[in-house]
């Protein structure tokens, strides 16, 4: 109902954002193909044409999330990697932390750990974690810290893993996240900490 009004006023940016919201709703309803089509064909070209890099970063992230849900990990990783320099150029450290976490997660999911990719995964998570601490975002600190602790433990570094895990635990406590705290306890027991 809103789209014809935006077309009448020739507001391409608002129309693209509205189409993105429609795609988000379709994604939540499980209509991934149509959501992907809208993001790729209706929304992204407008952001490119208008030079709106901030919205482009967001839209590429939504496309990558759909691809990841569909198991298209290589394509999702490529899009996340496209987002990184744009976020750096914009100075958008909030997005950068999310992108670094996402790329590390995708690398783990696609088996890069087994092919010598653990140092790169660690570096991306370490940067994301440092940003999350700088931003004082308990949600970022919790999720990123938990994964970083796991990667540190995988790499044979239990002491730093336990330090990071303690920070994640504080964040989960602040969020009152019982499930997250249970994951912390499980990982601590696996690592061998008290």
Q: What is the DSSP letter of 71?
A: T
Output the pLDDT for position 6: 47
Report d(CA 185, CA 183) in Å as an integer. Answer: 5
Residue with the bigger pLDDT between 22 and 176: it is 176
Which stretch of 3-17, 56-70, 97-111 has the lowest confidence by average pLDDT?
Answer: 3-17
Binning pLDDT at 50, 70 and 90, where does residue 66 land? very high
Report how far apart, in Å, the C-alpha atoms of 73 and of each of 43, 82, 115 are: 22, 14, 16
Helix or strand or coil: residue 52? Answer: coil
Answer whether residue 3 shows pLDDT above 70: no
- Which residue carries 């994964």 as its tokens? 147
**CA separation (Å) from 135 to 73, 111, 124?**
28, 30, 17
Residue with tokens 């893993």: 161
* Section 1-8 average pLDDT: 52
Residue 81 CA to residue 61 CA, distance in Å, equals 10
The pLDDT tens digits of the residues spanning 112-128 come to 988 889 999 999 999 99
Give first-to-last CA distance, the chain, whole Å: 58
Which tens digit of pLDDT belongs to each residue from 133-189? 999 999 999 999 999 999 999 999 999 999 999 999 999 999 999 999 999 999 999
The percent of residues in the chain predicted with pLDDT above 70, rounded, is 93
Residue 113 pLDDT? 87
Tokens of 97: 């932390």
């Amino acid at each position: 109902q809103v789209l014809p009004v935006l077309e009448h006023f020739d507001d391409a940016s608002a129309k693209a954002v509205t189409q993105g919201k429609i795609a988000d709703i379709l994604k939540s309803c499980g209509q991934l193909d149509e959501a992907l089509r809208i993001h790729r064909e209706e929304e992204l070209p407008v952001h490119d044409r208008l030079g709106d890099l901030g919205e482009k970063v967001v839209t590429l992230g939504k496309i990558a999330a759909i691809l990841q849900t569909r198991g298209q990990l290589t394509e999702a990783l490529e899009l996340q990697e496209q987002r990184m320099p744009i976020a750096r150029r914009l100075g958008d450290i909030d997005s950068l932390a999310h992108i670094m976490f996402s790329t590390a997660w995708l690398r783990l999911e696609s088996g890069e750990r087994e092919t010598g990719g653990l140092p790169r995964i660690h570096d991306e998570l370490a940067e994301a974690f440092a940003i999350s601490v700088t931003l004082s975002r308990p949600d970022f600190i919790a999720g990123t810290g938990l994964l970083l602790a796991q990667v540190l433990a995988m790499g044979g570094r239990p002491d730093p893993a336990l330090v990071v895990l303690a920070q994640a635990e504080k964040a989960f406590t602040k969020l009152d996240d019982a499930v997250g705290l249970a994951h912390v306890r499980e990982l601590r027991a696996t690592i061998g900490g008290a």
